[in-house]
Amino acid sequence: MANQAGRSSTAQERLSQVSDHLSGRGGRRGKRSLLEKHPDDIVVTCALRTPITKGGKGGFKDTAAADLLHGAFRALIERSGIDPKLVEDIAVGAVLAPGGGATEFRAAALAAGFPTSTACKSLNRQCSSGLQACVDIANQIKAGMIEIGVGAGAESMSQQYGPQAVTEFSELLENYKEAANCKVPMGVLSEQMAKDKKIPRSEQDKFAASSFHKAVEAQKKGLFDEEIAPLTVKWTDPKTDEEKTITVSRDDGVREGITAESLGKIRPAFAKDGSIHAGNASQISDGAAAVLLMKRSTAQRLGQKIIGKFVQASVVGVPPLLMGVGPAAAIPVVLEKTELDKNEVDIYEINEAFASQCLYCINELGLDINKVNPKGGAIAFGHPLGVTGARQVSTLLTELRRTGKNIGVTSMCVGTGMGMAAVWVAE
Amino acid sequence: MLEFRTQGYNGYSVKYSPFFDSRIAVAASANFGLVGNGRVYILGLTPNGIVVEKWFDTQDSLFDTTWSESHENQLLAASGDGSVKLFDITLSQFPIQSWQEHAREVFSVHWNLVGKDTFLSSSWDGTIKIWNPNANASLTTLPTHSCTYSAEFSPHSPSILSSVSSDSHLRVFDLRTPASASNHLTMNIPIHTPPKPRMGAAAPVGVPPSEALTHDWNKYRDTIIATAGVDRLIRTFDIRAPAAGPIAVLSGHEYAVRRITWSPHLSDILLSASYDMTCRVWTDGSAMGVGSVRQENMVQDDPMVYGGGKEMGSMGRHTEFVTGVDWCLFGAEGWCASTGWDERVLVWDCRAIMQ
């Protein structure tokens, strides 16, 4: 009686239960049913990443993407204790590697200890490649094609970022306006979008500074330690040209002491009167991430420790010039599919490609900004293109588990105009 | 047909006393069980019709009731506030014991028919709890991780129990197995499995899972369990062959089936109550000698799945959802009682509606 609100929500739940009995929908969905545990759930038993380092000067500047991936695989096998023989397929998201990196990644898997019977593919859905890799593996498991798989991402922007990543457009493509738009550089179109959607520079700088601030705090408290697998690599000192062996164990793009004011002094990068600059856009970075997926029944049989489950993903297209609105388009779709209310989600990991587009999506969806990227995002520690989607899984699940919460969404905008989102539940 | 009105309370469950042929308990709730009080009625069947012998009021809605198997004056009620209450009808007003452990609405209570010293409850919180009326706390908690509408002890063994839940699974637990293995769970049968493909018949198509609301153990064939729920179908399973899928599929109800119960007198007869406002009597076909394999052409002759089981009659006197139905254990085989959201308890002879 003390809590009238509680009573009326109980009545509401009982009512919807009876109405579900009548409508005969295939079982209830929504938050309550998301938290249920079923033998055929697709669960995550290990999710980790290498540190993410600054492109061109960070700890991994001299390490190939496949070597980073090799490190992530080694750590995954060691931490999960999975018998590599049982892994049937691996999907690796990568954006810049020539040929998708298909050959090198297969080689990296073999070198990491997976037997020749473990298949491996690479895939490219631009900035969501890492998420797409996890979703592909989850769907393969769901469909019964495989029983255990790894979704991963690997990117060396130090070594592979540049104009060679896109070939010349043919006349045919150039003559079709929307097609030609696919080629407009991210910075340029985001600048235009920030202008059109009226996201002032001051807001962007404030958002970027808070991303740095959150990441610094998280790093100080050691909140990334659980998800990061340190990696020992060769590194050439740019001052002395001396080759050293170093162990990288933290994200080196995170800088202390950044404020909205200090960011306000940086010159815009894409237009004189522009608002986007190096400080409020994602960093160019190197890294790798891997996620081990299987059915709950399989995990229980093998004694694997379940840390979370994959529930549902969505992908939508948006106009190429408005690629930054991707999360605002994809998140409502995945929430609708799972019948979740946006307020029932505890944490949103939305990739910070640019402060402008991330902020736009948060405002457009009406999200509580305190629920978005609680440990900072790509502005603070970087966005190795193909890795981000897989990286978000470990970042999200660790934070959900640490704070005793359950439901999370990962999402990102995708170059050429797409958005992708996925719902995860920590256990 | 006898009738009683539970004025202001919508029926959720009705149970005949296992000790007296003239005593019935009804669990009912105000406002359709959405919000408000609950009430247990103890009704007497007399030459002058149905009379109230007693009632108990509760703070929250009541969704199920069951009689004690060891004490003729005691019965349990399952409450919306997560409590299980034991009432003694020789005492007034208050329950003699109330156990508050479930985190959500309790949807079923059932007394152990063989052991008689334990009972169980199942809840929306995704657990089944085993209790002893003399203990203050539950003896065992069995997780199902899914809203469990119905749980029942086997009428043939004191340590075997079963449940159905919103995840479309029939679970069987054996308390003699070590708890460490899988919380006593010995069987987990997907109810929506299509019947096994047979030669000479089209392969069955996939059936989507749907919430299971009720189930019951056959009183004569100790491995047969019937289930029913939102997909409007009644199915029977043989737990000796859990992977074989249902052996009989009975269709006819136009909305979700809320409760089913096997006859205490006849091994093939069951009774159902549904949101379509009817109670129906069914045979699963087993009394007609089905399930035999015709060896000559290898085509299995299994009329249970293909129509040997059938509806034998329908009772349409309720004017709202029918939520509870139970057989009288005594006297002529066929007497039963039903209750529903139309605030009525009907006592009737199902032989009158059989064709």
> Over the Cα atoms of chain B, what is R_g?
20
Q: From CA B268, how far away is CA B184, in angstroms rounded?
A: 29
ipTM of the complex model: 0.83
CB contact under 8 A, B208 and A26: yes
Q: Which two tokens stand for residue B196?
A: 């096994």
Nearest to B209 among A8, A26, A32 (CB): A26
CB contact under 8 A, A14 and B34: yes
Q: From CA A85, how far away is CA A92, in angstroms rounded?
A: 18
Q: Which of A46, A120, A127, A361 is catalytic?
A: A127
Q: Is the pLDDT of residue B194 over 90?
A: no
Interface probe for B, chosen from A9, A12, A21 (most Cβ of B below 10 Å), is A21
Average pLDDT over residues B227-254: 90
- According to the model, what pLDDT value does residue A133 have? 97
Q: From CA A308, how far away is CA A167, in angstroms rounded?
A: 40
- According to the model, what pLDDT value does residue A270 have? 85
How many Cα atoms within 13 Å fall on the side-chain side of residue A398? 21
Average pLDDT over residues A298-318: 95
Nearest to B146 among A15, A20, A36 (CB): A36
Q: pLDDT tens for residues B156-175?
A: 999 999 999 999 999 999 99
The answer to whether residues B148 and B121 touch, using CB atoms and an 8 Å cutoff, is: no
B134 DSSP 8-state letter: T
Q: What is the pTM of this model?
A: 0.64
Q: From CA B330, how far away is CA B26, in angstroms rounded?
A: 18
Q: Is the pLDDT of residue A398 over 70?
A: yes
Q: Is the pLDDT of residue A221 over 80?
A: yes
Our CA-based measurement puts residue A401 at a distance from the nearest CA of chain B, in whole angstroms, of 19
> Over the Cα atoms of chain A, what is R_g?
21
Average pLDDT over residues A232-243: 93
Q: Which of A70, A120, A361, A383 is catalytic?
A: A383
Size of interface A-B (CB pairs under 8 A): 56
Average pLDDT over residues A208-219: 95
- According to the model, what pLDDT value does residue B203 have? 58
- According to the model, what pLDDT value does residue B289 have? 54
Domain ranges of chain B: 2-352
- Is A383 assigned a catalytic role? yes
| Chain B residues inside the 8 Å CB shell of A7 | 35
Nearest to A21 among B35, B61, B211 (CB): B211
Q: From CA B2, how far away is CA B44, in angstroms rounded?
A: 11
Q: Is the pLDDT of residue B205 over 70?
A: no
What kind and span of H or E run contains A135? Answer: helix A129-142
- According to the model, what pLDDT value does residue A6 have? 56
**Dihedral angle sign, alpha carbons of residues A307, A310, A311, A315:** positive
Average pLDDT over residues A52-70: 95
Q: What does the mean pLDDT of chain A come to?
A: 92
| Chain A residues inside the 8 Å CB shell of B80 | 10, 14
Q: Is the pLDDT of residue A7 over 50?
A: yes
The sheet that has B140-143: what strands, in order across it? B106-111, B119-123, B127-131, B140-143
Inter-CA distances, A251 with A60, A124, A386, A410, Å: 11, 24, 17, 20
CB contact under 8 A, B231 and A24: yes
| Chain B residues inside the 8 Å CB shell of A39 | 188
Average pLDDT over residues B94-100: 95
Interface probe for A, chosen from B59, B63, B147 (most Cβ of A below 10 Å), is B147
| Chain A residues inside the 8 Å CB shell of B230 | 20-21, 24
CB contact under 8 A, A24 and B230: yes
| Chain B residues inside the 8 Å CB shell of A15 | 34
- According to the model, what pLDDT value does residue A3 have? 42
CATH 3.20.20.70 assigned to A32-161+281-421: no
- According to the model, what pLDDT value does residue A68 have? 96
Q: From CA B258, how far away is CA B263, in angstroms rounded?
A: 17
Phi, psi of B164 (to 5 degrees): -130, 150
What kind and span of H or E run contains A69? Answer: helix A65-80
| CA A7 to mean position of chain CA atoms | 39
Q: From CA B120, how far away is CA B117, in angstroms rounded?
A: 11
Phi-psi region of A2 (alpha: psi -120 to 50; beta: other; left: phi over 0): alpha
**Dihedral angle sign, alpha carbons of residues B67, B73, B76, B79:** positive
Our CA-based measurement puts residue A139 at a distance from the nearest CA of chain B, in whole angstroms, of 18
The answer to whether residues A364 and A350 touch, using CB atoms and an 8 Å cutoff, is: no
Query: In which residue are the tokens 């909205």 written?
Result: A260
Q: What 3-state class would DSSP assign to A290?
A: strand
Q: Is the pLDDT of residue A425 over 90?
A: yes
CATH tag, B2-352? 2.130.10.10
Q: How confident is the model at residue B272 (pLDDT cuts 50, 70, 90)?
A: very high
| CB proximity list for A228: less than 8 A, separation 6 or greater | A48, A49, A50, A51, A249, A250, A251
Of the ranges A81-85, B63-67, B243-247, B312-316, which one carries the lowest mean pLDDT score?
A: B243-247
Q: Is the pLDDT of residue A8 over 80?
A: no
Average pLDDT over residues B83-94: 93
Question: What's at B197, amino acid-wise?
Answer: P
B143 DSSP 8-state letter: E
CB contact under 8 A, B210 and A24: yes
Q: How confident is the model at residue B295 (pLDDT cuts 50, 70, 90)?
A: very low
Q: How confident is the model at residue B199 (pLDDT cuts 50, 70, 90)?
A: low
Our CA-based measurement puts residue B261 at a distance from the nearest CA of chain A, in whole angstroms, of 19
Interface of B with A (CB under 8 A): 32-35, 61, 80, 105, 126, 145-147, 166-168, 188, 208-211, 213, 230-232, 255-256, 258, 275
Q: Chain B residue closest to A20 (CA)?
A: B230
Q: What does the mean pLDDT of chain B come to?
A: 90
Q: Chain B residue closest to A7 (CA)?
A: B35
- According to the model, what pLDDT value does residue B275 have? 95
- According to the model, what pLDDT value does residue B168 have? 92
**Residue with more model confidence, B340 or B201:** B340
- Is A46 assigned a catalytic role? no
Nearest to A21 among B80, B145, B213 (CB): B213
- According to the model, what pLDDT value does residue A32 have? 75
Our CA-based measurement puts residue B231 at a distance from the nearest CA of chain A, in whole angstroms, of 6
Of the ranges A115-119, A163-167, B205-209, which one carries the lowest mean pLDDT score?
A: B205-209
- According to the model, what pLDDT value does residue B104 have? 93
Nearest to A36 among B80, B126, B213 (CB): B126
Q: Is the pLDDT of residue A141 over 90?
A: yes
CB contact under 8 A, A11 and B35: yes
| Chain B residues inside the 8 Å CB shell of A33 | 166
The answer to whether residues B267 and B255 touch, using CB atoms and an 8 Å cutoff, is: no
